[in-house]
Amino acid sequence: MRTFFNLLKINLNLNFGISALKYRFTKEKKRLWEPILIGLCVILGLGFMTVTISFLMFAIFLAGKQVNKPEMVLTLAVLAGQFLILFFGILYVMSSFYFSPDLNILIPLPLKPSQVLGSKFAVIMINEYLTLLPMLLPAIVIYGAGMRMGFLYWVKGLLIFLAAPVIPLIIGSLLIMILMRFINFRKSKDLLAVIGGIFGVIISLSVNYFMQSFPKVNEEEIVNNLLSGQFNLIEMIGQRFPPSIWATYALSKPGLEGLGYLALFLGMSVILFAALMWLGNQIFYKSVLSGQEVSRKHKALSKEEIGKKYVKTSSAVSALFWREWKLFLRTPVYAMNGIAGMVIAPFAMLIPILANKEIDKDKMLSFIQNPDYILPISLVGLAIMLFTSSMNIVASTSVSREGQMFWISKMIPVHPKEQVTAKLIHGIAIQTIGVLVTGAVFAFVTRISFLHLLALLLLGVIGTVGLVAINLLIDVLRPKLDWKNPQEAVKSNMNGFLGMLATFAILGVLSAAAVGMVLLNLPHWLIYLLLGILMIIFAVALSIGLFAVAEYKYPHIEA
Position 307 scores a pLDDT of 56
CA torsion through residues 261, 264, 268, 269, sign: positive
pLDDT of residue 130: 82
pLDDT reading at 547 higher than 90: yes
Q: What does the alpha-carbon distance between residue 345 and residue 558 come to, in Å, rounded to a whole number?
A: 36
More confident call, 361 vs 373:
373
- Mean pLDDT over 156-176 rounds to 89
Handedness of CA 438, 442, 445, 447 (dihedral sign): negative
Strand (E) or helix (H) holding 299: none
Supply the DSSP symbol for 218.
-
How far from chain centre, in Å, is Cα 383? 23
Residue pair 479/558 in contact (Cβ under 8 Å)? The answer is no
pLDDT of residue 155: 92
User: Are 44 and 152 contacting, i.e. CB atoms less than 8 angstroms apart?
Assistant: no
The pLDDT of residue 230: 44
287 or 251: which leads in pLDDT: 251
Please determine, for residue 66, whether its predicted confidence score (pLDDT) is greater than 90.
no
Least confident segment among 17-21, 105-109, 425-429: 17-21
Q: Mean of the pLDDT values across residues 27-46?
A: 68
Other CB atoms within 10 A of residue 17 CB? 16
Short-list 97, 128, 445, CA closest to 288 = 97
In the chain, pLDDT over 90 holds for what percent of residues?
21
Is the pLDDT reported for residue 386 higher than 50?
yes
* Helical (H) or strand (E) element with 217: none
Integer Cα distance of 479 and 487 in angstroms: 15
Q: Is residue 39 a contact partner of residue 197, using CB atoms and an 8 Å limit?
A: no
Give the integer Cα–Cα distance in Å for 516 and 521.
9
pLDDT (average), residues 114-128: 87
Cα–Cα distance between 218 and 227 in angstroms, integer? Answer: 15
Q: Does residue 108 sit in helix, strand or coil?
A: coil
The sign of the torsion formed by the CA atoms of 521, 522, 524, 527 equals negative
Annotate 308-329 with b (16+ C-beta within 10 A) or e (fewer).
eeeeeeeeebebbbeebeeebe
% of the chain beyond a pLDDT of 70: 77
Average pLDDT over residues 184-195: 55
- Measure the CA–CA gap between 389 and 458, rounded to whole angstroms: 14
Could you give the CA distance from residue 474 to residue 425 in angstroms, rounded to a whole number?
16
Examine the pLDDT at 226 and tell me if it is beyond 50. no
Indicate the pLDDT class of residue 539, thresholds 50, 70 and 90. very high
Q: Count other C-beta atoms under 10 Å from residue 166's C-beta.
A: 23
* Residue 270: per-residue pLDDT: 92
Q: Which residue has the higher pLDDT, 192 or 415?
A: 415
CB atoms within 10 A of CB 395: 30
Average pLDDT over residues 350-370: 66
Q: Looking at per-residue confidence, does 32 or 386 come out higher?
A: 386
CB 54 within 8 A of CB 142: yes
Torsional sign, CA 416, 483, 112, 125 = negative
Q: Comparing 367 with 51, which gets the higher pLDDT?
A: 51
Report how far residue 147's alpha carbon sits from residue 446's, in angstroms, rounded to the nearest whole number.
52
| Residue 380 main-chain phi, psi, to 5 deg | -60, -40
Give Cβ neighbours of residue 99 (< 8 Å, ≥ 6 apart).
189, 193
Q: 346 or 240, which is more confident? A: 346
Give the pLDDT score at 463: 93
Higher pLDDT, 516 or 372: 516
Give SS3 for 442.
helix
Cβ distance 467 to 450 under 8 Å? no
Distance CA 547, CA 542 (A): 9
Q: How far apart are CA 496 and CA 543, in angstroms?
A: 19
On the question of pLDDT at 229 being above 50, the answer is no
Q: Which of the pair, 65 or 526, is modelled with greater confidence?
A: 526
Question: Using only C-alpha atoms, what is the Rg of the chain?
Answer: 28
Q: What is the DSSP letter of 215?
A: P
Q: Is the pLDDT of residue 461 over 80?
A: yes
Close Cβ partners of 475 (under 8 Å, ≥ 6 residues apart): 395, 396, 397, 398, 399, 400, 495, 499
- State the average pLDDT for the chain: 80
Q: What is the mean pLDDT of residues 331-356?
A: 73
Alpha helix stretches (DSSP H) within 280-415: 285-290, 303-310, 316-330, 332-355, 361-368, 374-389, 406-411
Compute the distance between CA of residue 204 and CA of residue 207 in angstroms, rounded to an integer.
Answer: 5
Q: How many residues does the chain have?
A: 559
Query: Residue 227 has what pLDDT?
Result: 43
* Alpha-carbon gap, residue 436 to 453, rounded angstroms: 10
Give the separation between CA 177 and CA 426, rounded to whole angstroms: 37
pLDDT of residue 231: 46
